[in-house]
Amino acid sequence: MIREDDTLDPLLAMLERFVKERLIPNEHRVADEDAIPPDIIMEMRGLGLFGLSTPVEYGGIGLNMSQEVQVAFVLGQTSPAFRSLIGTNNGIGSQGIILDGTEEQKSKYLPRLASGEIVGAFALTEPNAGSDASSLRTTARRDGDVYVLNGTKRFITNAPEAGLFTVMARTNPDEKGAGGISAFLVEAGTPGLHIGPADRKMGQKGTHTADVLFEDCRVPATQLLGGVEGQGFKTAMKVLDRGRLHIAAVCVGVSERLIRESLRYAMEREQFGKPIAEFQLIQAMLADSRMEAYAARCMVLDAALRRDQGQNISTEASCCKLFASEMVGRVADRAVQIFGGAGYIADYGIERFYRDVRLFRLYEGTSQIQQLVIARNMMREAS
């Protein structure tokens, strides 16, 4: 694990250069081609970006939560597509294995995920199970030394590229709640596993989602995560806590990029004989955005530190995800307004960010789910 600032700071400086010199110049290309150039993917692998949060003993860099969110602040300064490709390997695609996997599972998959040899995906959402994840219908029936999986997963990030899926399936049909759900590690290419066409999305071009279908997909019993049935939903919730904090940090990074672009444009664009930044109504929008981004950054850093100290941050993670994802939407809206007509034109990239950030309020728990988590935790603590 990186422990000293003199080690973390060079990492952040390297990432800032990479974002500025390689990623930002390729944003329009990624949006136009709906794909990240292969040479950039290779550079990301070479820089170790697929293994930022993987423990050192399994080939990763071993960042703790406080360090990871600082990296996310930097990666958030460019198109979300770049972060999304490596995000599953650092988050929901690997954390279940790190937290609850057997030693054999960790040794088999974590080094490959950390190097970027394979891309991980987290298959929880279904056509009829989104916010109510405990109602999922995908089944896993034990048949000797294998489990037979049947069902459909929806909106699975990186599904077209993934080499390994962490799949939530119901192993106990008599248990209708979360207790009947187990997690499985299913490799791409397993007979019976099929990937649907890539979804056509509102934004985040270059990030691919698709349906994942299981039709009598036979998975060895050794692929049951942790070797224990009925623990899958608990694993998913632990993984999502960390993921929500990471997404909140990305929202901070995007908002800071948008504020910087808005300020630059406002100081250059002249109307009525002076820069529009001198008009108080423009200043008010800039100030509100700066205030909210600063508040979100402070929230994320505080929650990350609490997690590193071993505290339960379920409430704090939801607070961060809720506030930061709603905040970046407001910042993006103000950016379009400050740019005026130019903000609606694709050449400037502002309208792209406006569409991209809308997704942050939906995945890894909608804003409404975060509100429910926060309120229910408050009531539980009070009683």
Q: Which two tokens stand for residue 379?
A: 């009531």
In angstroms, the CA 98 to CA 54 distance is 8
CA 154-156-157 angle, 5° bins: 155
Q: How far is CA 64 from CA 12, 300, 349, in A?
A: 14, 13, 33
In angstroms, the CA 239 to CA 173 distance is 24
Residues with active-site annotation: 364
In angstroms, the CA 196 to CA 10 distance is 41
In angstroms, the CA 246 to CA 92 distance is 10
